[in-house]
Chains A and B, each alone.
Chain A
Amino acid sequence: MAFTETKTKSDQESLAQIEKERLRGLLAAGERPQAPSPLAAARAFGWRAMLKIKHVPEQLFDIVLFPIMMLLMFTYLFGGAIAGGTGDYLQFLLPGIMVMSIVMTTMYTGMGVNIDIQKGVSDRFKTLPIWRAAPMVGYLLADAFRYAAAGAIMFGTGMVMGYRPSGGPDGVLLGVVLLLVFCFAFSWIWTWIGLIARSEKTVMSISMSILFPLTFLSNVMVDPSTMPGWLQPVVNNTPITQLVDGVRGLFDGAVDSGAVVTTLLWSAGFIAVFGFLTIRAYNRK
């Protein structure tokens, strides 16, 4: 049986000849369309990222299961200890834990960029007549989709667990948009690290050693006023704390416009600095 199968396969293979005439025709056609616009190029890369999700759906486990796990664990493990009850704690925790889990998944962008370089695909992209940032922007667009999906899943789970946003649908939507804007901007750090790091493992360990302190030293899990005095100013001024204040305010219907503006300023800063570093590293590679 196995023998027959092998034989059929090699028969098929030998039929797969190079068709010189056809090849000649294709070469002679010499069609040269106009180079795509930056937006079209970025969209093509976004399409590529979606195809990757289609072919390797396992990668969605991270963004689906990780946030749900975080939400369940922190609510039921610490709720009683920190807030004296899981219901109140969930009300406080949900916006923050949403920020934390989604910001943590941004590091996959850097790993993707690095894998493209290792595999040589990015060499091909670099010889194309396209906007140089298009591959990165395409990645980030597809990632924004993943973050939105993760956000929706967490919010849904939270609702099932009893979370009720006082900010209403508008507040929740604006909060998620603020989070997505921040993640898009923040991811440029990882595209840069993805370009300069030696391997995807390096990217991962660098990202982890930045993300863990950055997300835990914040107001995600606890109120900073319970922290030692010297730590409070640090925690209160990290971009993550500002983002959480902004998102929490929008969800709760008590908008903290200062935090929203600060978050947008941080975002602009990340794009300016790390977008520049990314493109420079990309051109140099």
Chain B
Amino acid sequence: MTNQDTAVRAEGLVKHFKDTKAVDGVDLVVPAGTVYGVLGPNGAGKTTTVRMLATLLRPDAGSATVFGRDVVADPAAVRSQVSLTGQYASLDEDLTGLENLVLLSRLYGFGKAAARSRAEDLLEAFGLTAAAGKQVKGYSGGMRRRLDIAASIIITPKLLFLDEPTTGLDPRSRGQVWDVIRTIVAEGTTVLLTTQYLEEADQLAGRIAVIDTGKVIAEGTPGELKSAVGAGSIRLRLHHADQRDHARTVLAEALGAEVELDDDPVALTATLKPGEDTASQGSHALGELSRSGILVDDFSLGQPSLDEVFLALTDKVDA
């Protein structure tokens, strides 16, 4: 791949903080023009990795380039191509939304009038016009996020880092942020997204790197990762607790799968067989249950959770 096809190429990135190795040899190749997901729990090293790629931290070892420019040797060139929306909104809380964007536009070099019109246009595009004159300290989490992302595209970046853009947001705000990310990518900007949610990576990312204790433990398309982990699970809540043992037998026969009883006396979970169609396994299981006269209050067909992905992947590493 040439420089223009590869947005990020990182090899063996390492960063220590005192005694802890926050990042312990991370390799990444992010193709240009896509959303690339970095998935991992708190403390896995996601933020540290992103900060090194965005030239905010100097790696202790290893190297990284952004569109062919080295993050250590040529940070100014990297900075001119990237934008970062950090985990905590990097805005001045005392200032209003409009003032924040005007200030940053001025700092990007826009003249007074141009800065103001750019700021107003961005507020409008992000549905923040009504709050333009309010101090950011009074903004909701979703509004802050939107303003923060707006600040990141004052100049259209070639690569946008979004560090956990939806952590702590309500579902509606999360949907809005996803819409924004899709629009940004459709216009040609590469997005490197970190997240704790498999669902989010699945919805948005073309490729995902799973990172844990400072190392990439798996990499691939969402489909590849999921099939490596299993096909997910069925979770049931029954109407009568005394039907649970019966239900367990029925499910085990119908699916040929492992069925676990939950702590909740009316709930049980069946792990689906990997490689087979999840939806048809689900409807088959439901059919068998109703034929056996078992009353089901609640039925959910879940993708593997991040926990399951991790358990599966870390098991593999140990073996």
Contact = CB atoms under 8 A, between A and B. Distances in A.
B127 A18 contact: yes
Contact of B126 (A18, A47, A122): A18
Contacts, number: 136
B99 interface: yes
A5 interface: no
A124 B179 contact: no
A18 B179 contact: yes
Contacts of B94: 51-52, 55-56
A6 interface: no
B110 A33 contact: yes
Contacts of A31: 110, 118, 155
Q: How large is the interface on B (under 10, 10 to 19, 20 to 34, 35 or more residues)?
A: 35 or more
29 contacts: A17-B176, A18-B125, A18-B126, A18-B146, A18-B176, A22-B125, A23-B184, A26-B156, A27-B156, A27-B184, A27-B187, A27-B189, A33-B108, A33-B110, A34-B109, A35-B109, A36-B107, A40-B106, A41-B107, A44-B107, A47-B103, A48-B95, A55-B95, A55-B96, A119-B92, A121-B92, A124-B84, A124-B86, A129-B79
A7 interface: no
Please report whether the interface of chain A is mostly helix, strand, loop or mixed according to DSSP.
helix
Contacts of A52: 92, 94-95
Contacts of A15: 127
A20 B108 contact: no
Contacts of B122: 26
Contacts of A228: none
A124 B90 contact: yes
A24 B186 contact: yes
Contacts of B135: 55
B91 interface: yes
A52 B146 CA distance: 22
A130 interface: yes
Contact of A127 (B83, B106, B121, B176): B83
Contact of B92 (A26, A35, A48): A48
Contacts of B130: 12, 16
Interface string A146-184: 000000000000000000000000000000000000000
B192 interface: no
B125 A30 contact: no
A276 interface: no
Contacts of B95: 48, 51-52, 55
A28 B188 CA distance: 9
Interface residues of A, number: 45
A129 B90 contact: no
Interface of A: 12, 15-20, 22-24, 26-36, 40-41, 44, 47-48, 51-52, 55-56, 119-130, 134, 284-285
| 4 residue pairs, one from A and one from B, having the closest CB atoms | A16-B127, A33-B109, A124-B90, A120-B90
B89 A120 contact: yes
Given A119-B93, A129-B76, A19 B86 contact: no
Contacts of A127: 54-56, 79, 82-84
Given A22-B121, A120-B86, A44 B93 contact: no
A121 B93 CA distance: 9
B180 A18 contact: yes
Given A123-B56, A124-B151, A129 B84 contact: no
A121 B90 contact: yes
B254 interface: no
B107 A128 contact: yes
Contacts of B179: 18, 20
Q: Which of B55, B76, B86, B128 has the most CB of A within 10 A?
A: B86
B260 interface: no
B156 A30 contact: yes
A130 B118 CA distance: 19
